[in-house]
Homo-oligomer: A and B are copies of this chain.
Amino acid sequence: MVAREVEAAEIRVSAPEGSVSTDRRPRADAVRNRDLLLSAAADAFAARGADVPLDDIARSAGVGIGTLYRHFPTRDALVEAVYRYEVDVLCQRADQLLEEMPPDQALAEWMQLFVRHVATKKGMLSALKPLLSSNPSFSDQTKGRAQAAATKLLNAGVAAGTVRADVDGADLLRAVGGICMSTDQERSEASERLVGLLFDGLRHGAAGSQVSG
- Which residues of A pack against B, CB within 8 Å? 126, 130, 133-134, 184-185
Contact = CB atoms under 8 A, between A and B. Distances in A.
Nearest to A130: B126
A132 B211 CA distance: 44
A184 B133 contact: yes
Chief secondary structure at chain A's binding surface? helix
**Copy total for this chain:** 2
A130 B125 CA distance: 11
B126 A185 contact: no
A133 B125 CA distance: 14
5 contacts: A126-B126, A126-B130, A133-B184, A133-B185, A134-B185
A130 B184 CA distance: 11
Contacts of A133: 184-185
Contacts of A126: 126, 130
